[in-house]
């Protein structure tokens, strides 16, 4: 049976997890039932028209676009396997088009809330309090990822050139400029760091040890919770906040792309939606006919 053979291939050759295999099986059994009822054919006899009919039926009965796309992915893998095994003459999924999935708007913290946290909120005067503020300020002022933050080393900071070197995905390096407020904060932090005589090459540490992701997440979640009621308060939200505030204040999209370390512009363009929403709100408030 083609479906059983395919699932066996996923388990033995591809070493997929049991959970993933069950999902593939569910999709294919659902397709098989549809084809038998509607066309009285088996899956190996399906063509692009019958598969497209199933996709349309899924959408019309309320299946979400994201779920439909996952099922299409299952079909593509399944019929690619059948083609390779010589059980079908051509791949009927070649002409299938995945429905568009609405891109959720990135969550971000308002500028006034970030100003309140960095300018008004009283962090502890100890080294740990100063370090915690440095964590928040670096994430917000540079847009770096959590993994990039915890891997920052002392040698990556160039105060004379007002920049830091960041090693991102696929070990790709990029240079990010530092504004004067952040430079001042780094200098103050460095002085406190010397006082406690930390023996570590990492810029930000937990008692001289490399910070771990959950440690940073808890810190950011706590401090953002002091100034915002937003449901999401993670380090990645500060990355979204950086990009949104930069765009709202006139930065070019390509500049933001380079600073964030995105491989292509499409990944950065998602932030334009927040800007458009802001423009819509201003328009509604300002235009007498709106």
CATH number at residue 139: 1.10.443.10
pTM beyond 0.75: no
3-state secondary structure of 52: helix
- Active-site residues, by number, are 145, 169, 236, 239, 262, 271
Q: Does one domain contain both 49 and 120?
A: no
pLDDT of residue 235: 96
Residues in CB range of 288: below 8 A, 6 or more apart? none
List pLDDT tens digits, range 136-146.
999 999 999 99
Pair of tokens at residue 6: 């395919």
Per-residue pLDDT averaged across 53-68, rounded?
A: 94
Residues in CB range of 93: below 8 A, 6 or more apart: 48, 51, 72, 75, 76, 79, 80
Q: Which domain holds residue 139?
A: 111-285
The CA-to-CA distance between both ends of the chain, in Å, stands at: 62
Mean pLDDT calculated for residue range 257-282: 80
Is there a single domain that holds both residue 167 and residue 35?
no
Q: What pLDDT is recorded for position 209?
A: 86
Q: What is the pLDDT of residue 264?
A: 87
* Mean of pLDDT over the chain: 91
Flag whether pLDDT at 45 surpasses 70. yes
Cβ(215)–Cβ(209) under 8 Å?
A: no
- Structural domains of the chain, count: 2
- The answer to whether 7 and 24 are in contact (CB under 8 A) is yes
Q: Between 167 and 284, where is the model more confident?
A: 167
Do 34 and 159 reside in the same domain of the chain?
no
């Amino acid at each position: 049976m083609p479906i059983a053979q395919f699932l066996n291939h996923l388990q033995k050759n591809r070493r997929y997890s049991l959970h993933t295999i069950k999902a593939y099986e569910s999709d294919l059994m659902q397709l098989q039932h549809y084809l038998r009822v509607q066309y009285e054919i088996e899956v190996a006899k399906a063509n692009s028209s019958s598969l497209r009919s199933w996709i349309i039926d899924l959408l019309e009965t309320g299946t979400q676009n994201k779920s439909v796309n996952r099922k299409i992915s299952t079909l593509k893998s399944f019929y690619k396997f059948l083609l390779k095994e010589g059980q079908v003459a051509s791949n009927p999924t070649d002409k299938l088009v995945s429905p568009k999935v609405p891109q959720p708007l990135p969550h971000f913290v308002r500028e006034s809330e970030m100003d309140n946290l960095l300018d008004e909120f009283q962090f502890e005067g100890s080294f740990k309090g100063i370090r915690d503020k440095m964590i928040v300020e670096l994430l917000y002022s540079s847009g770096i990822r959590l993994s990039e933050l915890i891997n920052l080393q002392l040698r990556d900071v160039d105060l004379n050139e007002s920049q830091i070197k960041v090693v991102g995905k696929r070990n790709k390096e990029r240079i990010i400029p530092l504004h004067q407020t952040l430079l001042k904060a780094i200098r103050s932090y460095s002085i406190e760091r010397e006082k406690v005589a930390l023996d570590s090459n990492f810029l930000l540490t937990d008692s001289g040890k490399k910070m771990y992701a959950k440690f940073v997440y808890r810190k950011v979640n706590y401090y953002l919770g002091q100034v915002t009621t937003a449901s999401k308060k993670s380090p990645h939200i500060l990355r979204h906040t950086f990009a949104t505030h930069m765009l709202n204040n006139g930065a070019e999209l390509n500049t933001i792309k380079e600073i964030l370390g995105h491989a292509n512009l499409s990944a950065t363009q998602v932030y334009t939606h927040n800007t458009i929403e802001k423009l819509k709100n201003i328009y509604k408030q300002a235009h007498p006919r709106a």
